[in-house]
Amino acid sequence: MTNVDLEVVLMTDQLERGPARTAHAGVVLASAGDRGVLCDFYDEAGSDTYRDLIQDADGTLETREFAARVPQDPGPVLELAAGMGRLTFPFLELGWEMTALELSATVVTAFRKRLAESPPELRERCTVVQGDMSAFALGRRFGAVVISSGSINELGEADRKGLYAAVLEHLRPGGKFLLSLELTKPVEAEPVERSQELSGRSGRRHVLHVKILPSEELQEITIYPADETADPFVVCTHRRRLFTVDRIARELGQAGFDVVAREPFASTGAGRDDMVLVEAIPREVTADAK
C-alpha cells in the first residue's frame, strides 16, 4: 500500500468512525432517550436534515457562479469533496465531463446509487473516485478543479497545503482552480455559543446550536428537531474549521497560485452576498524567478 492509499484509508476510517458527539448533542440525546439517533450533518443519515436546511439545496445558484468562470469547453472537470452530488449533477446537466472525488465510503455509495438512477447521457460522463482531496493522484489533468462551499473547511492547515499541491499537479495548461468560500468574519477571541430555530424547506422546524472554539479555530454545530417529541429524534453534528477568504487567498499565493478573481455572490434568493467565488490559476514561473 502506498503512503497516499494509507492516508486515504486512515482519513476514511476517521470519517467512518462516526459523528462527533458534541457536548450539546449529549444533552439533547439524553433527554430523547431511545428515540435519539446521532449522525453527521454531511453523511447519508444526515442528508434529510442537510437537504431540508441548506439554502441552495439543488445547487442552482452556486452552479451558476462556477459556470461563469469555468473555461468554455473545459474538457474534464474535477470536483473535490463532491458529497452526494449537489453540484455534480447540475454540472453534468451543463454537458461537462466530471470526475467526482469524495472521501466518505457511505457518501460515495449513495452518490453511485444516485448516478445509477440517472439518465445514461449523464452517467456516462461521470467518474466517481473515493479519495482524500488533500492527497490524491488520479493520473490525469483537468481543465478546472472545483470545490464547493464548506468543503475546504474540512481540512486543517497541513491538509490544505496537500490540497493545493495536488490541485497544481492535476491542472492542464490554462486550467483553473475554483473555490466557493463562505464569507466569514475573523474568529472572536472568546468562545461563543448560541441556539436559534430555523424553518426547513419542508416546513419542519430545526434547532441549530453553534459553538465556536476560538483557540482551535473550530465551529461545532448540533442540529435537531424543534419538536421535542420527534421519533426518531435525529441529532446531526459536525465540527468544521473557520477561516477567512483572505487567509485562503494568502495560502493559495504561497502555494504557487495567482488569485485572479474574488466574486461575492448570494447563495440564497434573499440576495445578501454570503459567499465568494475564488478563481486561482497556477503562477507562471518566469525565467527571472527560476
Residues that bind ligand SAM (CB under 6 A): 11, 42, 81-83, 86-87, 102-104, 107, 132-134, 148, 150-151, 154
CB of 24 or CB of 86, closer to ligand SAM: 86
Minimum CB separation from ligand SAM for residue 8, in Å?
Answer: 8
CB of 16 or CB of 121, closer to ligand SAM: 16
CB of 156 or CB of 174, closer to ligand SAM: 156
Q: Helices marked H in the chain — which ranges?
A: 3-16, 23-32, 47-53, 60-69, 88-93, 105-116, 120-123, 157-170, 245-254
3-state DSSP assignment of residue 12: helix
Strand 142-147 versus strand 171-182 pairing type? parallel
CB atoms within 10 A of CB 149: 21
Q: Which of 165, 152, 172 is nearest to 97 (CA)?
A: 172
CB of 11 or CB of 32, closer to ligand SAM: 11
- Tell me the three cell numbers of residue 220: 461545532
Minimum CB separation from ligand SAM for residue 50, in Å?
Answer: 7
Q: Which residues pair with 258 in a beta bridge?
A: 281
Minimum CB separation from ligand SAM for residue 87, in Å?
Answer: 5
Minimum CB separation from ligand SAM for residue 35, in Å?
Answer: 26
Q: Which of 27, 33, 48 is nearest to 204 (CA)?
A: 48
Minimum CB separation from ligand SAM for residue 151, in Å?
Answer: 4
CB of 54 or CB of 252, closer to ligand SAM: 54
Q: Determine the Cα–Cα distance for residues 276 and 280; give it in Å rounded to an integer.
A: 13
Cα–Cα distances (Å) from 62 to 54, 170, 235, 252, 267, in that order, read 12, 23, 27, 21, 6
Taking CB atoms, the residue at the shortest distance from ligand SAM is 83
CB of 32 or CB of 59, closer to ligand SAM: 59
Minimum CB separation from ligand SAM for residue 113, in Å?
Answer: 15
